[in-house]
Amino acid sequence: MTIRMAIIGTGGISVGHAKRLSSQGVEICALCDPAEGAFARFRERAGEAVPEEAREYTDYRDLLAREDLDAVLVASPHTLHFQQIMDSLDAGCHVLAEKPLACNEEEVTGIIEKSAATGKEVVVSYQRRFMPRFRFMREFIRDESFGRVLMVQAFQSQAWMIATRGLWRQDPALSGGGQLHDSGSHLVDILHWLLPESIVEVAAFVENHGCAVDIDSTIQFRLAGGGLGSIVILGSARHRGMHEDITFSGDGRTSIFSRNGTVLVNRDLKTPLEVVEDFPVNCDESPDHHFVRVVNGEAVNESPASDYLRVIRFTQACWKSGSQGGTPIKL
């Protein structure tokens, strides 16, 4: 079956989506973006992935009313996601949604319920779930030899404040939040996905550096099994690209480390750290590839809207704790 798909929001992130979806046989038949010049910029970068005859709209509601679609990519500013996703589901479309899925728990619950009522899938575009190294880490941490999780540490560093200055990401009316809600959402999601147990309590300090949204966050958390964890989100960094570290330590005398893409494991107290170089490829190549298989009934949704509930609950608890001077918040 050829999937007929529209793209709502043609910013930079949508270019890669268009190319990957097109490579899987998806027909991109319509685009929507209200920004002047957006279509020309998008078409230039997306190239042959977007047919010349793909129609252009400035209002997504007109697009949904006029097009015969199977699916929609929602990649607009964050606070617009909820209504666009809800309307797309009502129009009979499956939805591939950029993160963050929505901006509060009520919205996420509404999307989950609407997806169930319409029988249409919502896949959240969290690419780390489809990276072989993270699949390896998940199996390693959940193996009984790892034991109970004692400690989790995660760090993300990015020049987010500088890169987004003057753009919609620093306008809470459009972004719904700052670095923790944006790039940090990937880190929060992958930690929840890796963990074999729930996070039950958080305490956070947040620094905005004079901006309208959160930039830097330092977060402490407690696991249901008693283990501890910490996350540092550094959005005020002064370097190119992103740096990310993750550490898990278990009481089975094993640990696993991800150091900016390099995975190291410690299997016992007698052997040195081992760099893992070969990962079994047991997953789809990307959220886009996975979405196509889900829509075609060839795969079970591995990044559903329901998983995002724990991400938004965690994020909102961090904001609440930060606003109260680091007061612990139960989840």
Range(s) of the chain covered by CATH 3.40.50.720: 4-126
Query: What is the per-residue burial (b if ≥16 Cβ within 10 Å, else e) of 103-131?
Result: bbeebbebbbebbeebebbbbbbbbbbbb
Question: Residues 6 or more apart from 157 whose CB is under 8 A from it?
Answer: 234, 237, 239, 242, 243, 244
pTM higher than 0.85: yes
Pick the CATH number of 4-126 from 3.40.50.1980, 2.40.480.10, 3.30.70.20, 3.40.50.720: 3.40.50.720
- Name every residue whose Cβ is closer than 8 Å to that of residue 95 and which is 6 or more positions away in sequence: 71, 72, 73, 74, 85, 88, 89, 115, 120, 121, 122, 123
H-helix or E-strand spanning residue 63: helix 60-66
Report whether the peptide linkage leading into residue 100 is cis, meaning its omega lies within 30 degrees of zero. Answer: yes
CA-wise closest residue to 58 among 85, 81, 76, 78: 76
Whole-angstrom distance, CA of residue 331 vs CA of residue 327: 13
> How far is Cα of residue 164 from the mean position of the Cα atoms in its chain?
18
Distance CA 38, CA 308 (A): 29
Instruction: Among 3.30.360.10, 1.20.120.1810, 3.40.710.10, 3.30.420.40, name the CATH number for the domain at 128-283+305-330.
Output: 3.30.360.10
- Tell me where in the chain the CATH 3.30.360.10 domain(s) lie: 128-283+305-330
Name the 3-class secondary structure at 143.
Answer: coil
Could you read off the pLDDT tens digit of each residue along the chain, which spans 331 residues? 899 999 999 999 999 999 999 999 999 999 999 999 999 999 999 999 999 999 999 999 999 999 999 999 999 999 999 999 999 999 999 999 999 999 999 999 999 999 999 999 999 999 999 999 999 999 999 999 999 999 999 999 999 999 999 999 999 999 999 999 999 999 999 999 999 999 999 999 999 999 999 999 999 999 999 999 999 999 999 999 999 999 999 999 799 999 999 999 988 888 889 999 999 877 889 999 999 999 999 999 999 999 999 999 999 999 999 999 999 999 9
